[in-house]
Structure 1
Amino acid sequence: MSIETNAPVSTGPIETRTIDMVPERERHGSPSSQFTLWFGANMQITAVVDGALAVVFGAEATTAILGLLIGNILGGIVMALHSAQGPRLGLPQMISSRVQFGVKGAALPLLLVILMYLGFAATGTVLSGQAINLMFGFSTPAAGIIIFGALTALVAVVGYKLIHVVGRISTVVGILGFGYLAWQLCHQYDVASAFGQKPFTWTSFLTAMALSAGWQMTFAPYVADYSRYLPSKTSTAATFWTTFGGSVISAQLAMTFGTLVAALGGNFIKNQVGFLGELAGPLAVVIYLVIVTGKLTVNCLNAYGGVMTMLTTVSAFNDKKQFSPATRLVYILGFVLLTVLVALLASSNFLATFKNFVLLLLTVFVPWSAVNLVDYYLISKEKVDIPALYNSQGRYGAYNGVALFSYVLGIVVQIPFINQAMYEGPLAKAMGGADISWIVSLIVTSLVYYPLAKKTMKVPDQMIYPADQAGTSNSSGKAAYLNTASA
């Protein structure tokens, strides 16, 4: 079987590609675009909140900053390894999950990914709506939320190129805006007093690690969506390091700032947007714009990635290999409308809800990442039968029991180690509340999946591209254009 991916090449500003492979003739850009996109996506207020949570839930400032750094590095490695798949495959991230889970079996993690996008998009819309209302003096809370939803829809509809432009703008704006806020913090508060307020505890240290690792790993299900247009000759190392650097550096800076403002007290915990405005003083309106710009970048990633994931899920059951621009438009508008509705109904207890949300996502995405990365780098070794990803009767089948078993096991083994508001496992209690569930899952899932998949996976001898992808090269520079059956 082969796939025809001859969708019309976009001649206007609006993207036409959806879940189909990006042909070489449409590839463009350089790895540096990954640095600015992920720097801009992390230098924003929700990352500040994530850092503040480490202090809110028990960590001393030094403990929090160190724990956040280690978590960002570990989670960033996982996230960047997913990004490096983009130029090689030319596919949205979650389509590649069909290699491991089967064409229809991949729907299980896909449905959870959609919930993630909705949750993050809704929380981002709440904070941005507050900033817009303060900028323009709107008295109706819904006004800012609706305006931000409209901006998100506009950028997501235009698609890949505009999202990267917004990322570059957000990088510059974020550096200047948060640099100014850090300067103001140092002049208005005794920053040194933030340190040494509490003794070191392993529980608070591991909680900080989990918060930042979870933050990074939640990008994993869509990170390759934004590297898939890079030329296939782009090196894996270049894609990895630019993604890793942009995401980890900016996230750590934002989270460290959040740690300090939380440790110094003030009104940040109760009113995140308002506190930053007060801290900015005469430049409050400018800082509100900084908040909106940063959140716009990441919310567009959520909307764009959410739609890709929904289309991937639907296509597994209706045999579609690509979707029209009109269909893409309808899905984007529907997704953004839903996030706006969720934002309007959002709980006022934002910090506690967000912390539990991040840790819950960590529970379900760590085993998915383990399965995907172990297969791609150690079993398939970057050799994928791309036409078979769209054929439930082909090489990868409809369901892969080994991957589904390993994934579910990776969730179940975490239960004794989980420490969340709704449940605390017995082993977490025995360790004084320390939550190491994600570390246990990463190890167990990898160790179980590898030997089972090694025996059962039908790995092609080389990368198999769709029949019309002449001009696409593998990493050794040799063409691999096979119009073959995917059996």
Structure 2
Amino acid sequence: MQDKYSIDWVPDSARHGQPFQQFTLWLSANLQITAIVDGALAVVFGVHGITALLGLLLGNVLGGAVMALHAAQGPRLGLPQMITSRVQFGVKGAALPLLLAIFMYLGFATTGTVLSGQAINRILGTDGSPVGMVVFGVITGVIAIAGYNVIHKLGRIASVVSVAGFGFLAWRLLSAHPLDTLLAGPDGDIGQLLLAMSLSAGWQLTFAPYVADYSRYLPADTPTGKVFWPVFLGTAIGAQCAMTFGVLVAGAGGSFIKNQVGFMGELAGPALAMVIYFAIVAGKLTVNCLNAYGGFMCSLTIVSGMNGARSYSPRTRQLVIALFIMLSVVLAVFASHDFLANFKNFVLLLLVAFVPWSAVNLIDYYLISRERVDIPALYRADGRYGAYNRPALISYGVGILSQVPFISQAMYTGFAVKLLGNTDISWIVGLLVTALVYYPWAKRTTQVPAAMIFPSR
């Protein structure tokens, strides 16, 4: 069944599914090659192997918990994740984080298309051509247009394929290299630990803007814990397994960072290289569908904030998804290696925008509104939530500015970074400062309904 409600509220009659499906979806979304690269980067940046594993684990647990708290909103509200930002930012004010989310989705979709295109080219024997990227874009478009249920089914299949494929690669790696050799290096310190935490926590926070899109069809009476735990365990276990493999691969040396897909094929051996290429494509396909679907949701949510629309026709949804995927494929085809590196850094900097957004959204939902939302008012700029909400917008801006001295990226390094051993803790600062500014202000000014107000249909 296609997701016919798009950005609209999902009525009880259309609710279905089981919480365990959340586990397989987010397990497969994390068991993929880009997460492996993220783990490997910790070692590339100089973090000791064991310190990297511990830091990545702490970041996945903390970031995964924040992400799963967003997922738990889905069944109760029956709404896409980012449209709930209108409760805090106002019907039109929510366009700012929505626009930034679209850029983030596009960036990850582009890099995912490059990697999957390389794997498909090796399967088809068309190395060096754009054929693989185009094929991957077409497959992504078909599944993303099919919608919610098909994406969940893909997640279940991809989780099995990814576990088998990457489990085999881990066995091959450990057979060729002793574990103590893979984790060798100078002793780690607190700065290295925080750096590894930043890599994995930042990874988890990229899912926060759309995680509830895939839990909102669950029955409205699904307990919060039955949503939180499958999502948390799926995303944390999947990411930690992939990133652990990345740490071990980086410890082995070789050409992985420069040629991820080729390295994986060589590690598998000639007989099974094709199977691993299929596993790479399956893992990236799941998360790329999430990116395309999320980009479509955010695009139509921005438009609806201006014209008051509650839903869109299937043709409109198909057109927006197709345009999003076409743009990501074009960027992937024409992007130089330098462009991809710079664009990835740009996407990582966009995480600065989602840390304060996450703080505002979670504080409002769990501590201020306490799950009481006027859903019809989300579609009217003259309603309860207004066009723009000053406390959220100002707190959001303060949260972003508070992170600037602590950012450590290729495009910019803050003055406080050296004092912290060249460690980026901007996301920790952003969460705390935004919470401290927003909570007391919103507590005094927010008009919370006495109970949930649902559409009259």
Alpha-carbon contact 1:202-1:434 (below 8 Å) kept? no
Question: Post-superposition shift, 1:270?
Answer: 1.1
Matched letter for residue 358 of structure 2: S
Q: How many residues are aligned here?
A: 456
Question: Post-superposition shift, 1:58?
Answer: 1.4
Matched letter for residue 123 of structure 1: T
Per the alignment, residue 426 of structure 1 pairs with 415
Per the alignment, residue 148 of structure 1 pairs with 136
In the alignment, the residues of structure 2 paired with residue 122 and residue 191 of structure 1 have an alpha-carbon distance, to the nearest angstrom, of: 34
Q: 2:399 aligns with which of 410, 433, 436?
A: 410
How do 1:225-244 residues align onto structure 2 when only pairs under 5 Å count? Answer: 225-244=213-232
Matched letter for residue 49 of structure 2: A
Q: 1:118 aligns with which of 95, 101, 106?
A: 106
Q: 1:368 aligns with which of 343, 357, 373?
A: 357
Q: 2:19 aligns with which of 19, 22, 31?
A: 31
Question: Post-superposition shift, 1:208?
Answer: 1.0
Matched letter for residue 288 of structure 1: Y
Per the alignment, residue 456 of structure 1 pairs with 445
Alpha-carbon contact 2:101-2:209 (below 8 Å) kept? yes
How do 1:5-84 residues align onto structure 2 when only pairs under 5 Å count? Answer: 13-84=1-72
TM-score, normalised by the number of residues in structure 2: 0.98
Alpha-carbon contact 1:71-1:211 (below 8 Å) kept? yes
Per the alignment, residue 276 of structure 1 pairs with 264
TM-score, normalised by the number of residues in structure 1: 0.92
Secondary structure at the counterpart of residue 417 of structure 2:
helix
Alpha-carbon contact 1:392-1:398 (below 8 Å) kept? yes
In the alignment, the residues of structure 1 paired with residue 132 and residue 71 of structure 2 have an alpha-carbon distance, to the nearest angstrom, of: 33
Structure 1 pair 106–230 and aligned structure 2 pair: CA distance change class (3 A): same
Q: 1:197 aligns with which of 185, 190, 213?
A: 185
Q: 2:248 aligns with which of 233, 237, 260?
A: 260
Structure 1 pair 367–354 and aligned structure 2 pair: CA distance change class (3 A): same
Question: Post-superposition shift, 1:229?
Answer: 0.4
How do 1:78-117 residues align onto structure 2 when only pairs under 5 Å count? Answer: 78-117=66-105
Q: 2:162 aligns with which of 170, 174, 179?
A: 174
Per the alignment, residue 390 of structure 1 pairs with 379
Unaligned runs of 5+ in 2: none
Alpha-carbon contact 1:218-1:361 (below 8 Å) kept? no
Is 2:176 the counterpart of 1:188? yes
In the alignment, the residues of structure 2 paired with residue 31 and residue 350 of structure 1 have an alpha-carbon distance, to the nearest angstrom, of: 40
Alpha-carbon contact 1:185-1:191 (below 8 Å) kept? no
Question: Post-superposition shift, 1:441?
Answer: 0.8
Per the alignment, residue 476 of structure 1 pairs with none
Q: What RMSD in Å do the two structures reach over aligned CA positions?
A: 1.2
Per the alignment, residue 145 of structure 2 pairs with 157
Per-residue Cα deviation, 1:313-335 (whole angstroms, up to 9, x for no partner): 01101111110001001001000
Alpha-carbon contact 1:177-1:290 (below 8 Å) kept? yes
In the alignment, the residues of structure 2 paired with residue 355 and residue 199 of structure 1 have an alpha-carbon distance, to the nearest angstrom, of: 29
Identity of aligned residues (%): 63
Alpha-carbon contact 2:107-2:347 (below 8 Å) kept? no
